[in-house]
Amino acid sequence: MSADRGTDLVASVVAAIRGVVGPREGMVALHEPCFRGREWDYVKQCLDTGWVSSVGSFVNDFERHLQDLTGAKFAVATGTGSGALHVCLELAGVGRGDEVLVPALSFVATANAVAYTGAVPHFVDCEFTSLGLDPVALDAHLRDVAVPQGDGFVNRHTGRRLAAVMPVHMFGHPCQIEAIAEVAARYRMVLVEDAAESLGSSIRGRHTGTFGRLAALSFNGNKTVTTGGGGAILTSDAALAARAKHLTTQAKVPHRWEYRHDAVGYNYRLPNLNAAVGCAQLEQLPAFLASKRRLAARYAAAFAAVDGVRFVAEPADTQSNYWLCALLLDEGLDDLLEPLLAGTNDSGLMTRPAWSLLADLPMYLDAPRAALPVSTAVTRRLINMPSSPALCLDDVDGEGLA
Ligand SMILES: *Cc1c(COP(=O)(O)O)cnc(C)c1O
């Protein structure tokens, strides 16, 4: 591509994003939280009653609401999504000396949760449609490296047990979870979903996070719904749910006055104060989702007319929450990524590239990996665009808004 055409493309993208988000004061954030519901009221109730910590009615209400919303039989609220992932893996039986297959393209928390258990992340490639773990590449890689041993499989290069696979629903787009589940079952690996980004996303009506034995959600400040910091473990297995609650509350044996602990537990419970914010946020989720999907439709329409880029749309048969809207540069246009990031940010439109590949981070340089051509291409050609729930909120029904 000529320098002129590159400059034209950057100008077209800036104009398209500006056309969608409209004239706004100051920098348009990538994803900022929106508090237009009963947040103040619920937080005040916590302060007025003194129930601010890990016991309180908002925690229970928040969990019940998550169950209703996702269809998971149990939800256990945690202080962070990272903590939820950690406990999910521990409950999946992952431990020291195991390997867990994860996408190389994700937020660092995915791989870190594996490391917390003493296991090693084993990186696999993603596919271009959902940007999630590629079940075909996973299967081909396992045919190459997995050998049967005992009642499971080990990596023939490292001798370590292949204990679990943990795909991610990237930017809120459901990955090919059913095909991944089929591969996981064939190799006797537990399926755990990193659904941190995909609250409100589903596949033919079935919510993400209900396909694996366990799943983690996140309510960090930049996610679709926030509790300041927070997360949740989803499962439909009563024993695992009970164990999740036990481990996230320092494994304290219930008793009126005795302090006895029967395992190495964690202080991972979500405080009631944060759950209060979460309850108010979940009431607004339908409006947030409608707003985010409207924003995505506008981006899709605007970029249909721009040569050289593709708006990343939800895969067929799925409903995405469009947590972070994304653009992919066409093949061969890698050189335009930096000018595009500079041009948009200089124009007051916050954009950012995909995360660096987890497999390239210093602490994971020795971790096993498959070939990663698609993940590598995505890191060189993707930008995330302003995606806040408030951007189109005035155009949707005010359900749940005070
Ligand atoms: C946000 C996120 C997490 C971690 O959540 P925290 O609540 O920030 O600890 C994990 N995985 C992915 C893919 C995420 O985007």
CA dihedral 322, 323, 324, 330 (to 10 degrees): -30
Q: What is the pLDDT of residue 366?
A: 98
List the CATH number of the domain containing 394: 3.90.1150.10
- Distance between CA 199 and CA 220 in Å, rounded? 12
φ and ψ of 340, to 5 deg:
-70, -45
Pocket of ligand 1 (CB under 6 A): 80-82, 85, 106-107, 109-110, 168, 194, 196-197, 218, 220, 231
Same domain membership, residue 18 and residue 50: no
Q: What is the pTM of this model?
A: 0.97
Same domain membership, residue 292 and residue 278: no
Closest C-alpha residue for ligand 1 atom 2: 196
Q: What average pLDDT does this structure show over 298-323?
A: 97
Q: Has residue 79 got a pLDDT over 90?
A: yes
Per-residue pLDDT band for 55 (boundaries 50, 70, 90) equals: confident
Mean pLDDT score of the chain: 96
Q: What is the pLDDT of residue 6?
A: 84
The domain tally of the chain equals: 2
Same domain membership, residue 275 and residue 295: no
The DSSP code sequence of 170-206 is GGG----HHHHHHHHHHTT-EEEEE-TT-TT-EETTE
Same domain membership, residue 46 and residue 22: no
Same domain membership, residue 306 and residue 269: no
Ligand 1 mutation target, pool 87, 88, 89, 110, most atoms within 8 A of CB: 110
Nearest-atom index, ligand 1, CA of 109:
10
Domain end position, chosen among 217, 252, 283: 283
Nearest-atom index, ligand 1, CA of 223:
1
Using the mean position of ligand 1's atoms as its centre, give its distance from the Cα of residue 169 in Å.
11
Using the mean position of ligand 1's atoms as its centre, give its distance from the Cα of residue 123 in Å.
17
φ and ψ of 147, to 5 deg:
-125, 140
Same domain membership, residue 110 and residue 221: yes
- Distance between CA 145 and CA 269 in Å, rounded? 38
List the CATH number of the domain containing 120: 3.40.640.10
Domain end position, chosen among 283, 309, 325: 283
Nearest-atom index, ligand 1, CA of 231:
7
Same domain membership, residue 341 and residue 272: no
Using the mean position of ligand 1's atoms as its centre, give its distance from the Cα of residue 175 in Å.
16
Same domain membership, residue 212 and residue 200: yes
Using the mean position of ligand 1's atoms as its centre, give its distance from the Cα of residue 98 in Å.
22
Nearest-atom index, ligand 1, CA of 197:
15
Same domain membership, residue 337 and residue 266: no
Same domain membership, residue 264 and residue 343: no
The residue assigned the tokens 């399926």 is 191
Using the mean position of ligand 1's atoms as its centre, give its distance from the Cα of residue 107 in Å.
7
Domain end position, chosen among 263, 283, 303: 283
Task: Please check whether residue 190 is in contact with residue 247, taking contact to mean a CB–CB distance below 8 angstroms.
Answer: no
Per-residue pLDDT band for 394 (boundaries 50, 70, 90) equals: confident
Same domain membership, residue 193 and residue 44: yes
**pLDDT (tens digit per residue) in 180-213:** 999 999 999 999 999 999 999 999 999 999 999 9
Q: Has residue 398 got a pLDDT over 70?
A: no
Note down the domain range covering 322: 3-32+285-398
Same domain membership, residue 297 and residue 271: no
Q: What is the pLDDT of residue 257?
A: 92
Nearest-atom index, ligand 1, CA of 219:
7
